[in-house]
Copies of this chain bind each other. A is one copy, B any other.
Amino acid sequence: MIIVLNEKNTQMAQELQQRFNGTNDVFVHRNRVAIQGISAADLTEAERQAADELIEDVPAAVQGSRLLHPEDTVINTAHSVIGGDNFTMMAGPCSVESLEHVTKMAAVAKASGATVLRGGAFKPRTSPYSFQGLGEEGLIALRKAADQYNMDVLTEVMDDEHVKMVAKYTDIFQIGARNMQNFSLLKTVGQTNIPVMLKRGMSATVDDILNAAEYIAAGGNHNIMISERGIRTFDNKYTRNTMDVGVVPVLQKLTHYPVIIDPSHAAGHTEFVTPLALAGTAAGASGLVVEIHDDPAHAFSDGAQALKPNEYKAMADQAYAIRAALTGVPAQVQAEAGR
């Protein structure tokens, strides 16, 4: 349950924590105290008196819940402010292919307002015989490219043994869709203080996502963002996945973590990426993470879904225009805000 303490009685939080800490999971956020596995009957009269409200129906993923933490999580990295009223553009190639190439893509990304450079160095490929990424060499290149343009790095970490090494290069860990319930990996990134972008699994329910995020939070890392990248449904003839745009307001209601739309994996084909990006923006997402490539036909991976530089620019301009239409903040100011 969650005990919402009266503003005058917030010292009670410490007392509750002391009383229950040995036996129950206890989480405190400002004047709110979540204690797992108890009910109102387990509280003393004084404890009940100190509360403005007792919330008995609490989800398992309590640290991620708005019930414990009503205000938005806002994540500050070196070059970005993610969540709250901000809108963050993240872009880059699917795979890091070379220093030259990723640097070129960083320039493109930055020119249209991206403050985060994405790129894969360890690639989770369906087949063991597909290109598996450049590894640490790729990370070095990605870091250099981002630094040159004052951008943050976002890159996937695929297993717990790599967390320390990847941490040397990245500003944001990406946990891929196939690893969304790799609990060992979630626990390991949960023990760092590096922000994590958790991608929704192909058939993960909303509750599954929130519980997966809770594995990270349970380790003490609360810098979490959630990315919708399309789910698996009965029809994938024309799009690679089905983008569940409705999950944006649903997650925003339930959790305080920022929600980022990945239109590239949802669409799977360049021609559908922009409409999905704009749909996600209009639904209220806190940002976009988009794959770009200057020569998609020769991309090392996922070329079919990469936007070319000019397509990316047009998409970004429209996304900012939609944000401006909805929030009243001019596109130019939005684009500047994150730099």
Chain A residues close to B by CB (< 8 Å): 25, 36, 60-61, 124-130, 158-161, 178-179, 181-185, 187, 201-203, 205-208, 211, 214-215, 218, 231-239, 242-246, 248-250, 253-254, 266-267, 271-272, 275-276, 278-284, 318, 321-322, 324-326
Contact = CB atoms under 8 A, between A and B. Distances in A.
B237 A206 contact: yes
B237 A207 contact: yes
A126 to B, nearest CB: 5
B127 A61 contact: yes
B214 A127 contact: yes
A233 B234 contact: yes
A203 B129 CA distance: 22
A206 B235 contact: yes
Nearest to A248: B275
A280 B35 CA distance: 41
A324 B318 CA distance: 11
Q: Interface centre among A184, A207, A326, by most B CB within 10 Å?
A: A184
Contacts of A250: 238-239, 272
Contacts of A183: 124-125, 128, 158, 178
The count of identical subunits is 4
B272 A249 contact: yes
A277 to B, nearest CB: 9
Nearest to A266: B246
Nearest first, the 5 closest Cβ-Cβ pairs linking A and B are A203-B203, A282-B282, A159-B184, A178-B181, A321-B325
Given A124-B181, A201-B203, A242-B246, 20 more contacts: A61-B127, A127-B214, A128-B211, A128-B218, A129-B218, A159-B182, A159-B185, A161-B161, A182-B185, A207-B237, A231-B233, A245-B276, A249-B271, A275-B282, A276-B283, A278-B282, A279-B279, A282-B322, A321-B326, A322-B325
A9 B120 CA distance: 45
- The CB with the most chain B CB atoms within 10 A, among A129, A159, A187, is that of A129
Nearest to A272: B249
A278 B245 CA distance: 10
A215 B128 contact: yes
A182 B272 CA distance: 29
A97 to B, nearest CB: 20
27 contacts: A25-B129, A60-B129, A60-B130, A124-B183, A128-B214, A159-B184, A159-B185, A160-B160, A161-B184, A178-B181, A179-B182, A201-B203, A203-B203, A203-B234, A205-B234, A231-B242, A239-B250, A245-B245, A246-B266, A248-B275, A249-B275, A276-B283, A278-B282, A279-B282, A321-B325, A322-B322, A322-B326
Contacts of A215: 128
Contacts of A161: 160-161, 184
Contacts of A244: 233, 235, 242-243
